[in-house]
Structure 1
Amino acid sequence: MKRSDVLAELKPLPPLEAIAAFEKRAPNLVETFSWQDAWQEEHATMFTVAKSAGFDILQDIQTAFEKALKEGQTPQQFARQLTPILQQKGWWGKKLVTDPQTGEAVAAQLGSPRRLQTIFDANMRVSYAAGHWANFERNKKTRPFLRYVTMDDDHVRPQHARRHNLVLPVDHLYWNRWAAPCGWRCRCTMQSLSQREVDQLIAEGEKLHFEPPAETFRSFTNKRTGEIVRVPDGIDPGWAYNPGKAGYEARVNQAIAEKVADASPQMVRAAVDDRVSSSAFERFVRDPQGSMPVMAIPAVLRDAVQEDVQVAVLSAETMEKQLRRHPELTIDDYRALPSIGADPTMVFQDGEQTFVLVKLNDGRWRYAALKVTASRKAAFVTSFRYASDENIARMLTRVGVKLLIDRRGE
């Protein structure tokens, strides 16, 4: 299989899967001020544009992009349609805008030909990545390998070029970070292969690699949250995840949520309990990939936090953090997650996080921190651990903590 044949095979993917992936997040319009307001996997559940907060332009951009995706428009056609609308609404050029988080006026670049190109490019590549990943999952029994493919020209980033022709199984952990696109304007893509096709490429002289190159990392501070994260060199901050898998998992999770939306609380809890008790969950804890629903959100908790979210999800990124920071926790500990939300002893909010706690018979507290996404359609578990009375007392003394449920005296 020649390189020209590979690229020809990659381009004509029917957009049905890409459209389906986009349609799952398109209704969830979320105005943001900074691209750091929505981080990595959160983009799989929403449609947003940085600096859109305070302007009535998000629906216009979403509608124009959906049309471009369905009709196969070029970036130029997309821009021609949108530019007069954005200019009329004042979202154009450099202006002073107010940061809703700080109340400060800052100079910002709003609409421009380059901004529209970036919006088009990022959303198109992420939508297609999710469409590709749905096919990868569907066909991995017959096409069990993925190949990282660059454009192999002078514009390819050095770290991406090092991964050209890397071939690993579809379920390999490496793809949790290094799955194209790996940054703004990244043109890399993924190709699924059968064993016969791998053998054919080798026979034709293609230099395939079956061991990923060593990774190096740098620290990046999210200025919106203050969190310091490790980002692999060669991947742009905010892209150190698998956009295709995140989009695919978002579709799966939404399908589950839609099925339980009208179900009784008992049925929702039973569905989550069944998932957490499965062998698939054990594999997820041991080898995090994708995400897992781990907690049904009862009415009392939804009322307390004033959110209509049915299920909390544990992402692979958080699970990896858990394994690093709390190696003492066992699979049985993680299988206790549903019980926290079922009958919480205490619930309090600290900033954007909601802490749900249960007092155990041995005197310890078991608790999970939840964060509702900016789209308000999903909740993620951001941490899980055990704590003492002293630990909890210190947490409750933090400035701004709001106690929502307190059943300690019952």
Structure 2
Amino acid sequence: MAVVLKPLAPVDAIAAFELRKGNLAETFSWQDFWQEEHATSFTVAKSAGFDILKDISDAFERALKEGRTPAEFARSLRPVLEAKGWWGKKLVEDPLTGEIRPAQLGSARRLQTVFDANMRTSYAAGHWAGFERNRKSRPFLRYVCLLDDRTRPAHRARHNLVLPIDHPYWEMWAPPCGWNCRCTLQSLSQRDIDRLLAEGEKLQFEPPQDTYRNFVNSRTGEIVRVPDGIDPGWAYNPGRAGYEARVNKAVAEKISGASPELVTAAVEERVSSSAFERFVRRPQGAMPVMPISPELAGALGVDARVALLSAETMVKQLARHPEMTIEDYRLLPAMPAKATLAVTDGPLSVVLIRLTGGRWLHAVVKSTKSRKAAFLTSYRFTSEDRVLKLLARDGVRIVLDRRED
């Protein structure tokens, strides 16, 4: 009797995609979602106004779990997309401007791009989960190219680059580094490196010098610097972003129904991690940074256990408050419990003030309009005079006051 061996499903890659498929986001342009935003959401450009995202995500999930080819993925989808009018070139409305313009909707080529990009980012996130599990025994990563006539010169120049897993270079140069990029990362032990060198492999231990170009995001008008050799929108670490999104989800699930003490402990563990230090250095995604105490939840009217710090806010923090150190940010989990003052500043915002070591810390937490989530929107040092001016403003209500303690 013949034995048929079936390959094991890529469990980590599937888990990474399952997180994204839970947040379907219609967009008009690929620039509407930027870099690490893809770690927590699934979107397809020109999907706005069409009910097709769940069809595409379900088809891709089947392809990922069952090892289907791009052709099988496209073949299963085409009849569904055609029936819903999402096929060929059509005039569509840009929801940002209201402009009617011709656009390419579904096509075999577009579905190939959707398949390739999502497959490679899902596998990258799965691989990074393995890198983290094995980092003690395999603390190095190796950049590996497929060396043929399709290899981009900038990617070829990085073939066999070996650096520690925490090296800042991987914050941008982590495959996939663009559309249809076939490069990957491989984890290595010191013994692996010694063996490769003994076999005559030419490894690099210093990254090539990067050069940059300007790219204008036509949707936002923002000008960003993109390394030469990386496509716009890919200058981040897709694998780590997907892995970190899974960890943050696990933290959220861990604290669901937990006591305030366990919530605080979970957030403190996250903020004390090397992952948080990387986030502060180069923001990607979001991080849980502050437990929502019962008093804070009541003041915000929010149904959330933790406040998140988004990459967008972290970028603003770095620009506006460069004096804030990693040690200062690691004081955030204790803010609700050790706040000297907490006051409301509008229906969705609470300001926490803490006097510590002779200095006043000022943190603003805002609820989303849905009251389902809360975000830290500002964190800085302030002065006693500014605290008194805040208390004197119309509409400000004191939630807690420990000044006499």
Deviation of 1:288 (Å): 5.6
Q: 2: CA distance between counterparts of 1:62 and 1:151? A: 28
Q: Is the 8 A contact 1:369 1:384 kept in 2?
A: no
Q: 2: CA distance between counterparts of 1:92 and 1:364? A: 58
Q: 2:397 aligns with which of 367, 383, 407?
A: 407
Structure 2 residue aligned with 1:77: 72
Structure 2 residue aligned with 1:185: 180
Q: 1: CA distance between counterparts of 2:298 and 2:101? A: 36
Q: 1: CA distance between counterparts of 2:304 and 2:10? A: 30
The CA deviation string for residues 222-264 of structure 1, in whole angstroms up to 9 with x for no partner, is 3333333222221112211111111111111111101112234
Q: 2:213 aligns with which of 211, 218, 231?
A: 218
Which moved further from structure 2: 312-321 or 70-79? 312-321
Deviation of 1:269 (Å): 3.6
The CA deviation string for residues 309-361 of structure 1, in whole angstroms up to 9 with x for no partner, is 54344467875775565332133431343466777534569xxxx87644567
Structure 2 residue aligned with 1:395: none
Structure 1 residue aligned with 2:4: none
Q: 2: CA distance between counterparts of 1:38 and 1:371? A: 22
Evaluate the alpha carbon distance shift between residue 181 and residue 210 of structure 1 in structure 2; reply closer, same or farther with a 3 A threshold: same
Q: 1:77 corresponds to which letter in structure 2?
A: E
Structure 1 residue aligned with 2:224: 229
Q: Percent identity?
A: 63
Q: 1:345 corresponds to which letter in structure 2?
A: V
Q: 2:289 aligns with which of 266, 289, 294?
A: 294
Q: 2: CA distance between counterparts of 1:89 and 1:21? A: 28
Q: Is the 8 A contact 1:340 1:356 kept in 2?
A: no
Higher Rg = 2
Structure 2 residue aligned with 1:345: 343
Q: 2:36 aligns with which of 27, 41, 44?
A: 41
Q: 1: CA distance between counterparts of 2:226 and 2:302? A: 32
Deviation of 1:185 (Å): 0.9
Q: 1:17 aligns with which of 12, 17, 26?
A: 12
Q: Is the 8 A contact 2:63 2:73 kept in 1?
A: yes
Q: 2: CA distance between counterparts of 1:219 and 1:97? A: 29
Q: Is the 8 A contact 2:251 2:266 kept in 1?
A: no
Report SS of the residue matched to 1:142: coil
Q: 2: CA distance between counterparts of 1:161 and 1:282? A: 31
Q: Is the 8 A contact 1:365 1:389 kept in 2?
A: no
Q: 2: CA distance between counterparts of 1:306 and 1:92? A: 44
Q: 2: CA distance between counterparts of 1:273 and 1:191? A: 31
Alignment RMSD (CA, Å): 3.8
Q: 2:102 aligns with which of 100, 103, 107?
A: 107
Structure 2 residue aligned with 1:50: 45
The CA deviation string for residues 37-77 of structure 1, in whole angstroms up to 9 with x for no partner, is 22222211121112212111111001100011111111000
Q: 1: CA distance between counterparts of 2:367 and 2:104? A: 30
Question: Which structure 2 residues correspond to residues 362-401 of structure 1 after superposition, within 5 A?
Answer: 366-368=362-364, 384-386=379-381
Q: 2:38 corresponds to which letter in structure 1?
A: H
Q: 2:61 corresponds to which letter in structure 1?
A: E
Q: 2:82 corresponds to which letter in structure 1?
A: Q
Evaluate the alpha carbon distance shift between residue 309 and residue 236 of structure 1 in structure 2; reply closer, same or farther with a 3 A threshold: farther
Deviation of 1:122 (Å): 0.3
Structure 1 residue aligned with 2:255: 260
Q: 1:329 corresponds to which letter in structure 2?
A: M
Question: Which structure 2 residues correspond to residues 95-244 of structure 1 after superposition, within 5 A?
Answer: 95-244=90-239
Report SS of the residue matched to 1:21: helix
Report SS of the residue matched to 2:48: coil
Report SS of the residue matched to 1:36: helix
Q: Is the 8 A contact 1:37 1:224 kept in 2?
A: yes
Q: 1:366 corresponds to which letter in structure 2?
A: H
Q: 2: CA distance between counterparts of 1:363 and 1:82? A: 60
Question: Which structure 2 residues correspond to residues 241-252 of structure 1 after superposition, within 5 A?
Answer: 241-252=236-247
Q: 1:57 corresponds to which letter in structure 2?
A: I
Deviation of 1:114 (Å): 1.1
Structure 2 residue aligned with 1:64: 59
Q: 1: CA distance between counterparts of 2:375 and 2:212? A: 25
Deviation of 1:99 (Å): 2.4
Report SS of the residue matched to 1:345: strand
Q: 2:137 corresponds to which letter in structure 1?
A: T
Evaluate the alpha carbon distance shift between residue 202 and residue 347 of structure 1 in structure 2; reply closer, same or farther with a 3 A threshold: farther
Q: 2: CA distance between counterparts of 1:355 and 1:228? A: 31
Report SS of the residue matched to 1:121: helix
Q: 2: CA distance between counterparts of 1:102 and 1:299? A: 42
Q: Is the 8 A contact 1:340 1:368 kept in 2?
A: no
Question: Which structure 2 residues correspond to residues 274-353 of structure 1 after superposition, within 5 A?
Answer: 274-276=269-271, 278=272, 280=274, 283-284=277-278, 292-297=287-292, 308-314=303-309, 322-323=317-318, 326-338=321-333, 345-347=343-345
Deviation of 1:365 (Å): 7.4
Q: Is the 8 A contact 1:370 1:383 kept in 2?
A: no
Structure 2: segments with no counterpart, 5+ residues = 1-6, 388-394, 401-405
Evaluate the alpha carbon distance shift between residue 147 and residue 347 of structure 1 in structure 2; reply closer, same or farther with a 3 A threshold: farther
